[in-house]
Amino acid sequence: MKLDELKAIREKASAKIEKRNADASQSEWKIVVSMGTSGILYGAREIIKKIIEEAENLELNVLVTQSGSFGLDDIEPVCAIYHNDEKVVYGKLKPEMIRELLETQIVNGNILTSYRVAVPGDVGNKPASE
Amino acid sequence: MYELSLFVLDLVQNSITADAKLIKIWLFEFESENFVTVTVADNGKGMSEEVIIKAIDPFMTSKSERKKKIGLGLPFFKQLIESCEGKFRIKSKSGIGTVVTGSFPYNNIDQPPVGDLEDTILNLVIANPGIDFLYTRANDKNKKVFDTRPVRKMLGNDAELMWQSAEMIKWFRNELKR
């Protein structure tokens, strides 16, 4: 392993972290992909791969991670996007949807209603009139 | 599931759910010895003997036990290994961790393709900044070892914050895909 390369990366990255910490308007986004057996069967591995790639392409400040099954086996692959205290769940994901999903939800801050799944505790679960 | 790497991903997710801080993954494919073995070992919370028996039996999980979150991952893996005339083993101790191993003959016709294991490991490493991985893959000609522990040490206190930076993702990709 080329560990010596990490020194330069560390310096570059810590400058970025300091800048980010100083800018309070940069709030945290987190994407969690459901990676239980059923999720894996329906392609969750390709989904998380695509999310990592597209977040990198769009230079998003987002934490991408995985968890056990959400219990939404009938609409796998599933991911939840967290922002401040809000959570939106998206289901029946396909790799080709990911770019649009990240642009709509994270870059523009809108819910992509066509892929959104209403679950308890999800901000998208509010009635349309609200 | 049709790829060994997907089974590995499923086993590793079990380790993550068990709050493991270090997950070791081995794949040895020795044609000369007619022997393939895949192992996932973790230092998670482990299981009691009673829970292990439930975890490997696909029919044991009743609705009232659903809260224990025992899925079908282990029974699937066991079935795969046994269909390849192989041997499935699980060892676990509460508070210590769990080791799951499958070994089968190299020339078995029912053996699934490995799939892109490096890519699977890469995404696991990136998506779990708080967990260390030791990945070892060897065959008759090559041996490859990837360990995140020295990486974490090198990055220092802010390792988790830097883990998903564009620079680190590129570094991980270069190291694993080499």
CATH number of the domain residue B108 falls in: 3.30.565.10
**pLDDT band for position A24 (50/70/90)?**
low
Q: Which of B118, B167, B174, B176 to mutate to test the interface with A (most CBs of A within 10 A)?
A: B167
**Residue B105 lies in domain:** 4-177
- Which residues of chain A are at the B interface, by a Cβ-Cβ cutoff of 8 Å? 1-3, 5-7, 9-10, 12-14, 16-17, 33, 35-37, 40-41, 45, 48-49, 52, 55-56, 59, 63-69
Number of domains in chain B: 1
B29 in contact with A at a CB cutoff of 8 Å? no
ipTM of the complex: 0.89
Q: Give the DSSP H/E element, type plus range, for residue A87.
A: strand A86-90
Are A87 and A113 contacting, i.e. CB atoms less than 8 angstroms apart? no
CATH H-level, domain A26-125: superfamily: Glutaredoxin (3.40.30.10)
Q: Please work out, in degrees rounded to the nearest 5, the angle formed at the alpha carbon of residue A33 by the alpha carbons of A32 and A37.
A: 140
Average pLDDT over residues B128-149: 96
Q: Is the pLDDT of residue B121 over 70?
A: yes
Are A41 and A76 contacting, i.e. CB atoms less than 8 angstroms apart? yes
What is the rounded CA–CA span in Å between residue A2 and residue B169?
14
Q: Looking at the complex, report in whole angstroms how far the Cα of residue B114 sits from the nearest Cα belonging to chain A.
A: 15
Q: What is the pLDDT of residues B24-79, one digit of tens each?
A: 999 999 999 999 999 999 999 999 888 888 888 877 654 555 555 567 889 999 99
Could you give the C-alpha distances from A38 to A74, A77, B16, in angstroms and in order? Answer: 9, 8, 16
What residues of chain B, 111 to 140, have a C-beta less than 8 Å from chain A?
119-120, 123-124, 126-129
Q: Which two tokens stand for residue A50?
A: 């695509």
For A54, the closest chain B residue by CA position comes to B166
- Tell me the CA end-to-end span of chain B in Å, nearest whole number: 27
Q: Looking at the complex, report in whole angstroms how far the Cα of residue B126 sits from the nearest Cα belonging to chain A.
A: 8
Could you give the C-alpha distances from A108 to A103, A112, A119, B60, in angstroms and in order? Answer: 6, 10, 22, 47
Q: Looking at the complex, report in whole angstroms how far the Cα of residue B14 sits from the nearest Cα belonging to chain A.
A: 8
> How many CA atoms within 13 Å lie on the side-chain side of A115?
26
Print burial letters for B82-106: b (CB count within 10 Å at least 16), e (below 16).
eebebebebebeeeebbbbbbbbee
Q: What percent of chain A has pLDDT over 90?
A: 58
Task: Indicate the pTM of the whole model.
Answer: 0.90
